[in-house]
Amino acid sequence: MSMSVGDAGSSMSEPNITPMIDILLVLLIIFMVIVPVTPKGLEALVPQPPKNPQQQQNNDRTIVVQVLYRAGQAPAYKINETDVAHGDLLNQLQGIYANRAERVMFVKGDDDVNFSYIADVIDIGRAANVDHIGLMTPKIQAGQ
């Protein structure tokens, strides 16, 4: 729909932009399809500082189950520095997590303890409906 003005003998060349628009639309569609497929990183929960700086952190919220090595015997177990027998571990954890919304537990084992005992504590934690179970290592403890 363009009108050219000029002599009948002269030719006026205009660029044809239709193929460029077609290529642009194809690229736009390709980028619209690719962008939602890009992988996301892991969702991490970052601890927030307390709103009141004078407020002490609640140490009873953190549950640490310790598996202590005893030479020639089955390991000893502690929940937050309280001695617990292996048979009572499930009942104690169920009682602790009965009214909690945040179900997080840490397992700390001595260096000489066989990992099967740690795995057993993790299984007991899962049976007590603990959502997140973390393992404490010496490097994590050094930062505290």
Q: Which fold has domain 60-142?
A: Nucleotidyltransferase; domain 5 (3.30.420)
CA separation, residue 127 to residues 11, 33, 73, 102, 138 (Å)? 86, 43, 25, 16, 26
What lies within 8 Å, CB to CB, of 125 at 6+ separation is: 65, 93, 105, 107, 133
pTM, entire model: 0.55
Q: How many CB atoms are located within 10 Å of the residue 109 CB?
A: 20
Per-residue pLDDT tens digits of the chain, which is 144 residues long = 555 555 666 677 888 888 889 999 999 999 888 876 666 666 766 667 767 655 444 445 788 999 988 888 889 999 988 899 988 999 999 988 888 888 889 999 888 888 899 999 999 999 988 888 888 876 655 555
Instruction: Report d(CA 73, CA 41) in Å as an integer.
Output: 44
